[in-house]
Chain A
Amino acid sequence: GAVVSQHPSRVICKSGTSVKIECRSLDFQATTMFWYRQFPKQSLMLMATSNEGSKATYEQGVEKDKFLINHASLTLSTLTVTSAHPEDSSFYICSANPIVGQPQHFGDGTRLSIL
């Protein structure tokens, strides 16, 4: 069964809206979670590493003020796309490691469409 849950699965909203995406670890605690972005027919690009109780670490070229990450508990990380515009439309996916030393497990992703 799924070990990482992501919500919502689909968002359609107007330009200028802020959108929050939740990523939850199920039955395990995750001090670190990862946020990826995937464009059609392209691979996953890491946006940021979400750290419980501290600031997220952003990859080069990712705007911190645009993509706000909060990891307030050991089972929940949120990504907020602020003042979203059509170019922010994409597939956003989170991941976490259920077992230290083993690979990441991914959520089912959130398809964001900005009109």
Chain B
Amino acid sequence: QKEVEQDPGPLSVPEGAIVSLNCTYSNSAFQYFMWYRQYSRKGPELLMYTYSSGNKEDGRFTAQVDKSSKYISLFIRDSQPSDSATYLCAMSYNTNAGKSTFGDGTTLTVKP
């Protein structure tokens, strides 16, 4: 069993839809939870990160962490075609937030 499981997708939604991306994990020692966006042939771009449980909002993006359920989510409101990309969740143990463990990614397509 993988340490981090991510809904594989692919996901296709119409422009303006609310998108929900999810990951589960097995290791309760994870403390930092990140979401990255990766466009084709590019490196991952950090979207949001949270420490421990709770919600964090940044514009159209909301990240949620539920440590009791070992479940994290990223919500995208009013999705745009430019949001079409692969989204990777990632988690790490320590304060340096290095050596992260990644999910396999969910590919999202937002159709105009």
Contact = CB atoms under 8 A, between A and B. Distances in A.
A34 B43 contact: no
Contacts of A41: 105
A107 B43 CA distance: 6
Nearest to B2: A43
A34 B98 CA distance: 8
B97 A44 contact: no
A85 to B, nearest CB: 22
Contacts, number: 60
A37 to B, nearest CB: 12
Interface residues of B, number: 23
Chain B interface helix/strand/loop/mixed:
loop
Given A42-B104, A43-B104, A44-B102, A32 B96 contact: yes
Interface residues of A, number: 25
Interface stretch (B11-19, B44-52, B64-72): B44-52
B60 interface: no
Interface stretch (A67-75, A76-84, A93-101): A93-101
B88 A46 contact: no
B46 to A, nearest CB: 6
A102 B105 CA distance: 21
A93 B43 contact: yes
A101 B49 CA distance: 11
Interface of B: 32, 34, 36, 41-46, 49, 88, 90, 92, 95-100, 102-105
